[in-house]
A and B are shown apart, each in its own frame.
With several copies, the nearest count.
Chain A
Amino acid sequence: MTAKIETPDLMVYAMAAEIENFNTVLHGVSSPLPVLAMSVARKTHAPDMVYISGAEGVDPELDRIYPSSFDARLNRNAVAYFGLHEAFDLAQRGELDVMFLGAAQVDRRGNTNLSVIGDIDRPKVQLPGGAASAFLMPITPKVVIWVTRHTNRVFVEEVDFVTGQGYDHRLEAYQKNEIVIVSNLGVMNFKNPDRVMQIQYYHPGHSVDEIKEKTGFDILVAPDAAETPAPGQEVIQLINQIDPDGVRSSEFR
């Protein structure tokens, strides 16, 4: 019997699993889950990953997180500073392996919307903006989208506005790039010939059926769909240690 694992911790662990050792990984603004995922990956299976902070520190000895993902304290004992324009150059050179991005809407082809609900000329809801999405989604080998509210208003047939490009909005050259979606219910990807969204993992306590029900389109199920691997106690301890104030829960309120 295991204790119930909190959703943010499950998501962090699932996001960390997307990082391979020696990967170069960047996080952006407003990104407590990505920061924790990068920290967990580095302390577990990816000790040699290159960690580029949105706060500009390279491989910092991060000891805790703050409400801002650009807080300069995140750079503690970094080996160097590396500006966002330099990280973007790296992406243009094809040397940024993984990026974490948010989304207010995602659709079945992996398009994301962070710009506006309704019409761009007369927004019903003004969203914060896509930050690096439009730039990085087509050119980064792996983009991990995290979504903390898996509902059929977020997972929609077609986004109101294409901020970040899914598979139907990409050049052929970038069709191979990988999009992975980590939500509060499971992990979705596009590893099928048609490049449409499929359920790869469902989090403990959730199910394929629940995800289907809370998705606003006909989502596929991967042949090898399974329960999301849960983090061990040492990982949960690590997360708690880095985020004693529970900043990671802020997106779930």
Chain B
Amino acid sequence: MKKVLTGLQEAAGFVDDGALITFGGATFQRAPMEFVRELVRQGKKELNLIDREPAMDFDLLIGAGCVAKVRAGMLAFEVFGMAPNFRKKSEKGEIITKEGACQPIIAGFRAAAMGLPSIPIKGMLGSDLLTISEVVGSQKEVKDPFTGETMIAVRAIEPDVAIIHAQKADEYGNVRIEGPLYEDVIKAKAAKKVVVTVEELISNSEIRKMPEATTIPHFIVDAVVETPKGAYPCSCFNYYDADYDHIKEYLRAAAKDQFDEYLDQYVYMGMGRRVST
């Protein structure tokens, strides 16, 4: 086993401008928010974001000007309403956001995780989302070779980097996700590089006491970063709940055109906005 423990700045270096990336968790649960903030601080550009049901992670990157393209099944702030930066920039034509349905995204991750160029799914037929995806080249109507049934072939989605916030890992990258897993294990297998931020580092001997609790084995993990509160203001099961008040503050700032102030206060934290060159 190889030690993969590193710092947050170094880990963010895995993400190149223009990279296709995805995040663990779903909406306000276990999103790797501190890593997202680090991407903003490093002034990443033209990112290509993909996920089933993201929320503040995507919207923050969009608002900070880091994003060129979004593919999501749904991107909103749950009962709080629309994702403000996503909506604004999409309507202005500053980001591309045409495609979007959960199952083709999940299935695309699964195909990549399985090492397949595509896998079939059901449903989708008749939706304009399928039409768009056929033009884009991510989905295609096919016939099952045995039954002749109409199926939708979904092209594999292999993110350049998957970033996952987990509860625990050892320094080799044996990761324990506690509670709901979402597609995190699938994403880790699908991605070219995997960065895991964790609430808590634990020893390898601790890991070996309960191998069944390891959800992602070390050999598919490229970096582990100790990042307590790394999902904040999203939740991290067994550690903290989502801070819905903070999320509402984010939305108020965006609504009042004070998003830059939000970024200063919560992302740059008074360290002065980095001027991207």
Contact = CB atoms under 8 A, between A and B. Distances in A.
Direct contact between the two chains A and B in their complex (CB within 8 A): yes
Interface of A: 22, 24, 29-30, 32, 48, 50, 55-59, 61, 66-73, 75, 77-86, 88-95, 114-115, 120-126, 128-139, 161-165, 169-171, 247, 250-251
A125 B102 contact: no
A138 B263 CA distance: 42
A70 B123 contact: no
Interface stretch (B36-44, B180-188, B265-273): B180-188
Contact of B128 (A50, A61, A163): A163
A27 B185 CA distance: 22
A45 to B, nearest CB: 16
B24 interface: no
Interface size class of B (residues with CB under 8 A): 35 or more
22 contacts: A30-B27, A56-B182, A57-B180, A66-B242, A71-B29, A72-B180, A78-B211, A80-B214, A83-B183, A88-B102, A89-B115, A92-B121, A93-B112, A93-B113, A95-B115, A114-B74, A125-B91, A126-B86, A130-B74, A135-B104, A138-B124, A171-B150
Interface in B154-180: 170, 172, 174, 179-180
* Interface-centre pick from A67, A86, A137, A170 (highest chain B CB count, 10 A): A67
A59 B102 CA distance: 23
Contacts of B2: 22, 48
A83 B79 CA distance: 22
B53 interface: yes
B56 to A, nearest CB: 11
Given A81-B212, A83-B183, A161-B128, A59 B115 contact: no
Interface string B22-37: 0000111100000000
Contacts of B29: 55, 68, 70-72
Nearest to B207: A79
Given A126-B86, A128-B76, A84 B106 contact: yes
A67 B183 contact: no
B193 interface: no
A180 B143 CA distance: 30
B74 A128 contact: yes
A22 B2 CA distance: 9
Contact of B241 (A71, A82, A139): A71
Contact of A94 (B101, B115, B174): B115
A124 B150 CA distance: 34
B126 A169 contact: yes
B186 A85 contact: yes
A128 B83 contact: yes
